[in-house]
Amino acid sequence: MCYRTCMHKVFAGVVKTAWVAIAGVNLVVGALYGGEAGQIPIERFFGLPKIARPSLSPDGSKVAFLFPLEGRLALGYLDREKKESNLILRGTDESIFRFFWKGNDRIVFMADVDGNESFFIGTTDLTGKNVVRIAESRRHDSLDGTNAYIVSGCINDEDHIVAAGIFTQRDLAPGEFREYDTGVFRIDINDGSREQLYDSFDRREIAYLVDESGNFRGRALAIGKMMQYRVRNGGEEVIVAEFPRHGYAEDFTVWGFDASGRRVFVLSRKEHDRGALRVFDLEKMELSPALFVPEKGEITRLVFNRKRTKLVGIVTEYIKREYHWFDRTRARIQANLEATFPGKMVDVVSTSEDDAVVLCLVHSDRDPGTYYLYDVKAGKIDRLQNLRDLDPEAMRPMEPFSFKARDGLEIHGYMVRPEKTDPIPPLVVLPHGGPFGVRDSWGFDPEVQFLANRGYSVIQVNYRGSGGFGREFINRGRYHWGRAMQDDLTDAVKWAIENGYAAPDKVGIYGASYGGYAALAGLIFTPDLYQCGVNYLGPTDLEITFVSKGQSARAVDFNYRDEWVGPTRESRDEVSPVRHVDKIKAPLFNVYGEKDPRVRIDHWERFEKELKRHGVRYEAMVVAKQGHGFRDERASQSFYARLEAFLAKYLPPATPEGK
């Protein structure tokens, strides 16, 4: 991987002052969009965002951000005082996808190469001329090369991070062998030197506990069907929690340390199905009573001040996301922002260390969002940048709904309908991936809005097994791939038809990952329900889903397959699409990435042979150098163009009334 850098004006007029009604100042934001009617170009929905992951420097003087450059995401920064933005660096063969500040003049960043999910890790100064390579991406389908990840950003230490995994001095060619280091390391971001904190590479280890000063404090292990958390206490390792392993909603889950390193925040489900926030004191070796239990939904995030010296709030989600504040100052800032942007969701994404400067995202179900900088003392806001050039008035509202499944279980979902049409518009069922512990949420979704703009109604169903509704709801999905989880999607379609939102001869299904599997299962097990289906990255054989091509599965992967997908090979074969291709009646569009590390291309290669053998009508799109989801802008846009054409052919869209 090679990085190029130059001083470059990133945005022309990136900051356009827009004073808003905080501290009595009037809003004078100019029009951002022209009137939009008819079909909006695919690029507006699925091009790279104009800005991504902006973050304030600790002193609040700069904003670092990702932005599109030559089809990839590059790293830049804004000097707030000079109102100048400059390129820091860009990759020649990968997109930077995540970064964070270390002090006010250095940044740690991660880059994705070919979608292989083995990430390059590096650090840079703001000129981009002093890049330190921390970990290389594994380029080949083997363990050659580095495979590392960041465990702690070490808020209390500007010069170090902690990373775990396999490290070599450089990337290796295929077949080349070199000695490597494994374990957990404290790494100097200035020169890349490593200090080993923990030298074991026990395959039972699933997480490491490292505090914000970079000290190794313990580890989590999966031992058979049990889980343990072990912490260092003096010179000994002590088991502080042991419980049957769940897989998605454990009895005891560590959510991080405070700045002191003494307290660990824990989500506990032993007594609360939806989870309770508790604190484990490492000095007293005691677990506190519940500090917060959500009335509905689940806790999704803890909100700290920048130095993690104070827990200021909690975020929960049921139908929509909500904030719960412990800190009056943060509560007041949130209230001021929400009053300034009525009807919008406001998320504070970054603050300066003294909380004098706040960076927030203002968005909604119809608005992809705009970032603003809020000067708390002055009571004024500067508009930074909008994510996409999409007019919220041209988007469609997201409507929550619920229904009773055939066994009486209450299921929640969201529906987006196109501009009023006559007759009833065709319906696309869009099941989420995961499947367990993952959910669809209320908010802007470019896929949904794209389909609505093309004349389709869309429903997203949080079927049993989804997250956000408690552990028991997740448990309802155990062993129900292609069974009750699929029934929930079927029942959602019937609910839509019975309530006049869909016509029985105008329904299609499209999903990615598990959603791709659900699309296949829908065409196989309910062949008369859908007029067509789109399988994007879906597993086709549940026997090999958790085994890498040509390799043996790890014990933890077999645990997942046996504990959640199906207890026996026979039960898994019963719902594996590759075993039931003869049942497919409707046309099918299949999409895969050759470098997918999760759903290996072997799934498609074996499945396509069966499609040909049984004469199924199908189309296919297989893209080189793409993984589990297309990160490349051109590949992504090409896919959505193919999706649009496929749906138009087999599920013709509705036309708005009067057009």
pLDDT band at 54 (very low <50, low <70, confident <90, very high): very high
Parallel, antiparallel or unpaired: strands 311-317 and 160-167: unpaired
**Which residues 6+ apart lie within 8 Å of 232 measured at CB?**
216, 217, 218, 238
pLDDT given for residue 452 in this prediction: 97
Q: Does residue 77 have a pLDDT over 60?
A: yes
294 and 430 housed in the same domain: no
The single residue listed with the structure tokens 């991080």 is 256
Mean pLDDT on 577-590:
98
- For residues 455 and 655, is the Cβ–Cβ distance under 8 A? yes
Residue 568 included in any domain: yes
351 and 403 housed in the same domain: no
pLDDT given for residue 116 in this prediction: 64
Q: Does residue 10 have a pLDDT over 70?
A: no
Retrieve residue 26's tokens. 């009037």
212 and 293 housed in the same domain: yes
- Rounded to whole angstroms, what are the CA distances from 4 to 31, 63, 73, 90, 134? 36, 20, 13, 6, 17
516 and 606 housed in the same domain: yes
pLDDT given for residue 169 in this prediction: 56
Q: Quick one: how far is CA 469 from the chain centroid?
A: 18
372 and 463 housed in the same domain: no
Q: Is the peptide bond before 652 cis (omega within 30 degrees of 0)?
A: no
For the stretch 490-513, pLDDT in tens is 999 999 999 999 999 999 999 999
pLDDT given for residue 170 in this prediction: 55
Retrieve residue 184's tokens. 């957990």
Residue 656 included in any domain: no
Q: Report which of residues 370 and 5 the model is more confident about.
A: 370
368 and 406 housed in the same domain: no
pTM for the complete prediction?
0.91
pLDDT band at 118 (very low <50, low <70, confident <90, very high): confident
Mean pLDDT on 455-470:
98
333 and 470 housed in the same domain: no
Residue 534 sits in a domain of what CATH number?
3.40.50.1820
Q: Does residue 140 have a pLDDT over 60?
A: no
Q: Report which of residues 206 and 168 the model is more confident about.
A: 206
Helix (H, G, I), strand (E, B) or coil at 396: coil
Q: Report which of residues 85 and 172 the model is more confident about.
A: 85
Q: Does residue 53 have a pLDDT over 90?
A: yes
376 and 439 housed in the same domain: no
Q: Does residue 426 have a pLDDT over 70?
A: yes
User: Which helix (H) or strand (E) segment is 151 a member of?
Assistant: strand 147-152
Which value, to the nearest 10 degrees, does the dihedral of the CA atoms of residues 297, 302, 77, 63 take?
100
| Parent domain of 535 | 396-650
Retrieve residue 464's tokens. 């049993």
Parallel, antiparallel or unpaired: strands 181-188 and 160-167: antiparallel
Mean pLDDT on 265-291:
96
pLDDT given for residue 300 in this prediction: 97
Retrieve residue 152's tokens. 């702690």
pLDDT given for residue 105 in this prediction: 97
pLDDT band at 11 (very low <50, low <70, confident <90, very high): very low
Mean pLDDT on 546-553:
42
Mean pLDDT on 625-634:
86
For the stretch 271-283, pLDDT in tens is 999 999 999 999 9
pLDDT band at 181 (very low <50, low <70, confident <90, very high): confident
**Which residues 6+ apart lie within 8 Å of 181 measured at CB?**
166, 167, 168, 194, 196
One-letter amino acid for residue 584 of the chain: I
pLDDT given for residue 37 in this prediction: 66
278 and 424 housed in the same domain: no
pLDDT given for residue 179 in this prediction: 61
Residue 313 sits in a domain of what CATH number?
2.130.10.120
Q: Does residue 36 have a pLDDT over 80?
A: no
Residue 457 included in any domain: yes
Q: Does residue 150 have a pLDDT over 70?
A: yes
d(CA 504, CA 498): 9
Q: Does residue 15 have a pLDDT over 80?
A: no
pLDDT given for residue 21 in this prediction: 27
pLDDT given for residue 26 in this prediction: 27
> Which of 334, 368, 386 corresponds to the end of one domain?
386
In the sheet that 457-462 helps form, which strands lie side by side, from edge to edge?
398-404, 410-416, 457-462, 427-429, 507-512, 532-536, 588-593, 618-623
Domain count along the chain: 2
350 and 408 housed in the same domain: no
435 and 573 housed in the same domain: yes
For the stretch 196-209, pLDDT in tens is 999 876 888 999 99
Residue 156 included in any domain: yes
For the chain, the helix, strand and coil percentages under 3-state DSSP, each to the nearest 5: 15, 35, 45
pLDDT band at 368 (very low <50, low <70, confident <90, very high): very high
Determine which of 268-272, 520-524, 581-585, 631-635 has the lowest per-residue pLDDT on average. 631-635
- For residues 503 and 422, is the Cβ–Cβ distance under 8 A? no
Phi and psi at residue 359, to the nearest 5°: -110, 125
One-letter amino acid for residue 563 of the chain: E
pLDDT band at 570 (very low <50, low <70, confident <90, very high): very high
- For residues 130 and 106, is the Cβ–Cβ distance under 8 A? no
Q: Does residue 555 have a pLDDT over 60?
A: no
pLDDT given for residue 167 in this prediction: 80
Retrieve residue 542's tokens. 């549940």
pLDDT given for residue 659 in this prediction: 60
Mean pLDDT on 465-487:
98
Residue 640 included in any domain: yes
Mean pLDDT on 331-360:
96
Mean pLDDT on 178-186:
81
Q: Chain-wide mean pLDDT for the chain?
A: 89
For the stretch 238-254, pLDDT in tens is 999 999 999 999 999 99
d(CA 335, CA 327): 12
Residue 522 included in any domain: yes
> Which of 329, 352, 386 corresponds to the end of one domain?
386
Q: Does residue 558 have a pLDDT over 60?
A: no
Residue 391 included in any domain: no
**Which residues 6+ apart lie within 8 Å of 284 measured at CB?**
none
Mean pLDDT on 61-65:
98
For the stretch 438-448, pLDDT in tens is 999 999 999 99
Residue 449 included in any domain: yes
Q: Does residue 8 have a pLDDT over 70?
A: no
pLDDT given for residue 556 in this prediction: 46
> Which of 333, 359, 386 corresponds to the end of one domain?
386
Q: Does residue 330 have a pLDDT over 70?
A: yes
512 and 638 housed in the same domain: yes
Burial letters 284-299, b for 16+ CB under 10 A, else e: eeebeeeebbbeebbb
Mean pLDDT on 584-609:
94
